[in-house]
A = this chain, B = another copy of it.
């Protein structure tokens, strides 16, 4: 008996697969669908087996891996920095939109649409090297706190999604971020927060220039990694159709459609924000993370809709 117990203990050490890889996911159909997919594409004896080179998983960031309410966290960073710089040098606030942003007046900024956002990003996100920008993002993450949760922004990441990323990597997947957010912004924290290295982060980007050995950020946006831009970005950067895609809004529809439209086994995941108590509840209406098509058509397309309130045991990391 003692020998058997020892042997069993040894087995549990060498086969961690027997442990639940997704402890923060409740034992629902959602979890079963995810595990079943991952097991089938990684089982060499399965007809659904996918070679490791093709195990590409892509995830949206805002609202899928971390929070996005009351507005994208990157915008809060932009407003904070604009305000801070204007305190030293008010002359940088050359337009009404910039003045509104520095005062945190979201309504005026929102009324200005894309052009207003570009103006704000031009002042807060350019005119410096990528290295200096990313150091500044990290400094901001150290000091800034979310207005309602009081948490660090880079701790407002979803524990169940962290477990999913880790589970996928353990199973030989590459885990990529494909975000509408700025690529340099996300790379500043993705490695520490998600264990995703810079080369597996894709996002929107502005023009840059190589000057005196450095990469300088210039004003403007030359690639918007959102909606139809997501499959375009995936082709451009990864060059392969993923087999798993996770998102949470209609900005991710094309990415999930592209992913699950390929031959063979595919998984599309949508995180549905149903949890007003532990996080936020929103879907069809609002200015951030709007989800209509995904709810209307997702199930028919075979996508798995994650019900945050009922599928997740916990939301945030300890």
Contact = CB atoms under 8 A, between A and B. Distances in A.
Interface of A: 53, 56, 130, 174, 183-184, 187, 191, 197-199, 201, 205, 208-210, 213, 215, 228, 231-232, 235-240, 254, 257-258, 261
Contacts of A198: 238-240
Contacts of A231: 210, 215
The winner among A187, A209, A235, A237 for most chain B CB atoms within 10 A is A235
Contacts of A208: 232, 235-236
A130 B213 contact: no
B130 A235 contact: yes
A237 to B, nearest CB: 6
Nearest to A131: B241
A236 B205 contact: yes
Contact of A213 (B191, B213, B258): B258
Contacts of A261: 213
A210 B130 contact: no
Contacts of A238: 198-199
B232 A199 contact: no
Contacts of A199: 56, 174, 237-240
Integer count of this chain's copies in the complex: 2
A122 B258 CA distance: 25
11 contacts: A197-B240, A198-B238, A199-B237, A201-B239, A205-B236, A208-B232, A208-B235, A208-B236, A210-B231, A210-B254, A213-B257
Contacts of A191: 53
A111 B184 CA distance: 40
A187 B228 contact: no
A271 to B, nearest CB: 22
A46 to B, nearest CB: 23
Nearest to A186: B239
Nearest to A201: B239
B237 A237 contact: yes
Contact of A236 (B174, B183, B228, B257): B183
A228 B201 contact: no
A174 B191 CA distance: 17
Contacts of A239: 183-184, 187, 197-199, 201
A254 to B, nearest CB: 6
A228 B209 contact: yes
A253 to B, nearest CB: 11
Contacts of A258: 210, 213
Contacts of A235: 130, 208, 215
- Leading 10 A-B pairs by shortest Cβ distance: A198-B239, A213-B261, A215-B235, A210-B231, A210-B228, A199-B238, A187-B239, A208-B232, A198-B240, A210-B232
A50 to B, nearest CB: 14
Contacts of A197: 53, 239-240
A260 B269 CA distance: 42
Contacts of A183: 236, 239
